[in-house]
Amino acid sequence: MTKTIENLFFYSAIGSDLLVLLLFILFLKNYKKNNSIILIAIYIIIALILGVTGKFVTHDFMFYAYGAFTFIEYILFSTIFYLNIKSKIARKVIFFISIIFTVFLLFYYSQMSFRSIDSIPIGVETIFILLYAFYYLFEQMNDLENSFIYNKYHFWLIIGIMLYLAGSFFIYVFANQVDEAIVNQFWLLTNVFYIIKNLFFAIAFLILVKQSKVSFPKSHKNMYPYLN
């Protein structure tokens, strides 16, 4: 029964990836100039490939695959924050932290090994990304032009990222320090938060589509030039 539930959430997570990709493909013309959405689509494709192939490859391969994915996930997520945070100082901080994190990863993977997943890099990544997210929300709350933050597509992207990383944080961090049976017992929660993340991504995609459809065509921008 437990195995059946685990498989259900695993395949639901795969299905949520496919849902986000389907929305991206269906409304590609609305996204082709939006770097944040393109980065999310790249992330979903890589995560989908890793999720599908993870059950059929060796432990040694997964060692490098998980390490690469942690780095890619951090770079993609941090770039989204870099693109959507207005403060130049905060963007510089993100840039320099990213350099430090990259050096840390190179050192860690050259010196360490792990039993199931790279818990320490994931933990460090999560802390950095959550700090960026908190600053993003702080900046948005103090922006007098933002009366309805939930109307911004990138708000939903970032909330999805926050919920996924925060919800999975302790499971990932302690995965190498507890018995495998305990890890398997709680691992389905990571899929739950992964699905929630993708649902928020889907909402962000749909909001951007809606906003692009209601925007005025270029030919209508100067229809009423003297109304001011």
CATH code at 109?
A: 1.20.1070
Q: Global pTM? A: 0.86
Q: Residue 108 belongs to what domain range?
A: 2-25+33-209
Q: What distance in Å separates the CA atoms of residue 159 and residue 179, rounded to the nearest whole number?
A: 31
- Looking at the 3D structure of the chain, how many domains does it have? 1
Q: Does residue 158 fall inside a structural domain? A: yes
Q: What distance in Å separates the CA atoms of residue 197 and residue 202, rounded to the nearest whole number?
A: 9
Q: Does residue 219 fall inside a structural domain? A: no
Q: Does residue 195 fall inside a structural domain? A: yes
Measured at the CA of 123, the angle between CA 157 and CA 166, to 5 degrees, comes to 40
Say what the pLDDT of residue 224 is: 39
Q: Does residue 105 fall inside a structural domain? A: yes
Q: Does residue 143 fall inside a structural domain? A: yes
Q: Does residue 214 fall inside a structural domain? A: no
Q: Does residue 220 fall inside a structural domain? A: no
Q: Are 97 and 130 in contact (CB under 8 A)?
A: no
Mean pLDDT in order along the chain per 10 residues (228 residues): 75 93 91 89 93 71 81 96 95 97 92 76 95 95 77 94 94 80 79 95 94 57 42
Say what the pLDDT of residue 26 is: 92
Q: Does residue 215 fall inside a structural domain? A: no
Contacts of 161 (CB under 8 A, 6+ apart): 77, 80, 129, 133, 197
Say what the pLDDT of residue 220 is: 43
